[in-house]
A and B are shown apart, each in its own frame.
Chain A
């Protein structure tokens, strides 16, 4: 009944995709024209930085040495990432890549996690309502505004909010994840300060990703409304609320859940830009810092982290889907 086969198949798929993504992360820098290793070392030396052994090692792990075989490099790479050894970053003095990421990750996790969940729940509910009451005034208002906001690049909406609510009306702070001078700690006052700082970035992410959920769910609702089981439920005189929620929305939700992982990719992409605009101390800002400094080890490690966390989330959503749709459990 529980359909172990479904979960086993999804698990195997997850591992295979994980391996492919990790390997791709190894291949990408080696496909690039020129030798990033030489370029990086030259750039570091020119910048007057001392190239420590650790830095050099980090670059070698991530980008490969010209004189060792590709296979040895690959094995080294696998061993190192399995032990979370990413070497030293040279964007931040005396900091290892792993530490830098560890410090930034919670910020992004909370921001992106919360925004995604809020956008999914609110967007899906709005889509259910608009689809059920289609061709009404509420439906057209919801659909038209969702369409409009789905055309917004997240950074543009972020800049507008920053300008009007932050700069013009001083309702929100202009930059940062917390007021400078505060020490990050788990106290109520610090958390309150952090939440206050994250409102604008979160609103930006929610509004720009909300639209996709609304329109997607509305579409699914309209498609499901034409199903025979909905017609039959009406013929049997079920209550409107039962039909709307348990017959239409419950089935219309399934394709939206499948799409969750892909939507997450968009939100993560959006968060990179949003973090940069709001100076939010998360993974996105760190990635851009790495890009600005041509800090390839940090860049590669962040990309790997983003990819792996997406894969894990998609895997979890797949498992959830197995519980939501009785048909796939045995399939």
Chain B
């Protein structure tokens, strides 16, 4: 049972949720399934709010070149300006337009958040599936590693690893976060797989001589979708916050245009003490909103898989 970083509070109960196994799904057309899942999420008030915020950020990221009034890297303005008619959010110490940096920075934050979340979830899914399906030594070793990874302090570990690596590009940060964030999900997936493995329909498939690979993909995976989705958004929440933290500490590449690096430069230039609070407030709020959207979507997924949590 996991009280996970405050970033993903809904995971606290994931193991209770495990008991409520989603009804076996027929294998529908993939697109129809995605549409239906989105529609069901949409019907939950909190998830709807989360989807709207996330959708907004995705649109901003896609249309950044059209939306941004200036180049995010051009140092063509007077530095340390407060918000004005030309630079709506002011300029940085290097004379860059903050609004344009915010708009382009959306791409990095989204990519790191979603990418690291996806990487962590894939790792969690693989490790959880294997451990759950191979009781005995394999399970023991994997479960021990999972528990070990779970008790290693996440951010200090990331800081140490990032400090060893020389070039901390956005991709490196993504990999570090992804490779350190799989444990929570893996533990939940393992217990879910172990439960499913003994279910009648899986036993039936095994006895009818289906290959393991097919059983996992046809019988087990469809029943792990809500769990994997919840795990994904949980990991993505943690990733957004961790990436911002690492960049804020200067462990990313400070020349990448991202919300975290705006904060890093703001802290470096003592922006708060020079009255340029916009430089801290705006990127910080954007990070909060993005993390919040993932958390809200997760509320919806939780309510779907655990009827007791459903709102009346």
Contact = CB atoms under 8 A, between A and B. Distances in A.
Interface of A: 16-17, 20-21, 24, 28-29, 32-34, 36, 135, 146-156, 159-160, 162-163, 167, 174, 208-216, 219-220, 222-223, 225-226, 255-256, 258-263, 265-266, 268-270, 272-273, 276-277, 287-288, 291, 294, 296, 299-300, 302-303, 306-307, 310-311, 314
A299 B160 contact: yes
Contact of B309 (A222, A255, A314): A222
B296 interface: yes
A162 B272 contact: yes
A265 B309 contact: no
B284 A160 contact: yes
What 4 A-B pairs are tightest by C-beta distance, nearest first? A259-B3, A269-B155, A216-B12, A266-B5
B244 A153 contact: yes
Contact of B160 (A216, A259, A263, A300): A300
A152 B288 CA distance: 5
Contact of B249 (A29, A162, A273, A302): A273
A1 to B, nearest CB: 25
B308 A222 contact: yes
B12 A287 contact: no
Contacts of A262: 2-5, 150-151, 184
A276 B309 CA distance: 39
Given A29-B164, A147-B9, A259-B4, 16 more contacts: A21-B152, A32-B164, A149-B6, A152-B291, A153-B288, A156-B284, A255-B13, A262-B5, A262-B184, A263-B4, A268-B153, A269-B245, A273-B155, A291-B249, A299-B160, A306-B153
A146 B3 CA distance: 14
Interface of B: 1-10, 12-13, 15-16, 46, 144, 147-148, 150-157, 159-161, 163-166, 184, 237, 241, 244-245, 248-249, 251, 263, 267, 272-273, 277, 280-281, 284, 287-289, 291-292, 295-296, 299, 306, 308-309, 311-312
A272 B272 contact: no
Given A29-B164, A219-B10, A151 B237 contact: yes
Contact of A150 (B163, B295, B306): B295
A291 B245 CA distance: 14
Decide if the interface of chain B is mainly helix, strand, loop or mixed. Answer: helix
A311 B2 CA distance: 15
A219 B13 contact: yes
Given A151-B7, A153-B241, A307-B153, A220 B12 contact: yes
Contacts of A150: 6-9, 295
Contacts of A272: 155-156, 159
Contact of A151 (B152, B156, B184, B291): B291
Contact of A17 (B1, B12, B151): B151
Contacts of B241: 153
Contacts of A148: 288, 292
B34 to A, nearest CB: 26
Contacts of A299: 160, 163
Contacts of A296: 164
Given A163-B277, A209-B6, A306 B156 contact: yes
